[in-house]
Amino acid sequence: MPDGKKDSEDFEARAKELVDAGYEAVEKAIIACTRCPLHETATNRVIGKGSRTPKVLFIGEAPGKNEDEKGIPFCGRAGKELDKMVEYMGLSEKDWAVINTVKCRPPENRNPKKTELESCKPFLLAQITLLDPNLIILLGNTAEKAYCPEKKLEWGVPENVEGQTVLKLFHPAALIYTRSRTGTQHELIDRNRGLWE
Ligand code: SF4
């Protein structure tokens, strides 16, 4: 069996056990997790925030300094940018939630390694199944690499990935670094409003 297929079956089997145990058990398992070295330097596990029945589930990258200190995703500058994006999309509080690809902060805010993304993937898959969104918005390439590594999605073009509608948009932090992308992001959102309205 090719390694990729075996890995995906392993993630899915572990995710199913977590799903069967329920969301609170997933939270406890994340807090106790030592499956990859990121737990050694993490202050807090950053599990997720928002609705437990979201229409739209955003998947970010990894916790940063503020998130690690508070244990809450998107609570710093990128969080303010995500709030603006959510407002532009017209989503209310009950409509959305956000989680990250890995639950522990990578040192010096480096990108998560492939092995770390894979170690954390059962949590990601279990959260997606339990939150059961209509739409997943991948915030940037790391989210894509974690969720559907075999795909290369176009920015702002929705795809059906194994029965789940998925859309890739810019990460809010990328909008802070390159302000000119905000206009493009708005165009991509406008083009896809039918997915959540
Ligand atoms: S990043 Fe994920 S897999 Fe790694 S230790 Fe933290 S919770 Fe576990």
Ordered by start, the domain boundaries in the chain are 3-195
pLDDT tens string 39-50: 999 999 999 999
Considering the chain, what is the average pLDDT of its residues?
94
pLDDT tens string 115-174: 999 999 999 999 999 999 999 999 999 999 999 999 999 999 999 999 999 999 999 999
Pick the atom of ligand 1 nearest to 39's CA.
Answer: 5
Distance, CA of 162 to CA of 164 (rounded, Å): 6
What is the value of pTM for the model shown?
0.94
Q: What is the pLDDT confidence band of residue 1, given thresholds at 50, 70 and 90?
A: very low
CATH number of 3-195: 3.40.470.10
For 170, the 3-state DSSP assignment is coil
How many angstroms separate the alpha carbon of residue 188 from the centre of ligand 1? Answer: 32
Q: Roughly how many angstroms between the first and final C-alpha of the chain, as a whole number?
A: 42
Residue 78 has pLDDT above 80, yes or no: yes
Residue 103 has pLDDT above 90, yes or no: yes
Residue 66 has pLDDT above 80, yes or no: yes
How many angstroms separate the alpha carbon of residue 106 from the centre of ligand 1? Answer: 10
Cβ atoms < 10 Å from Cβ of 35? 18
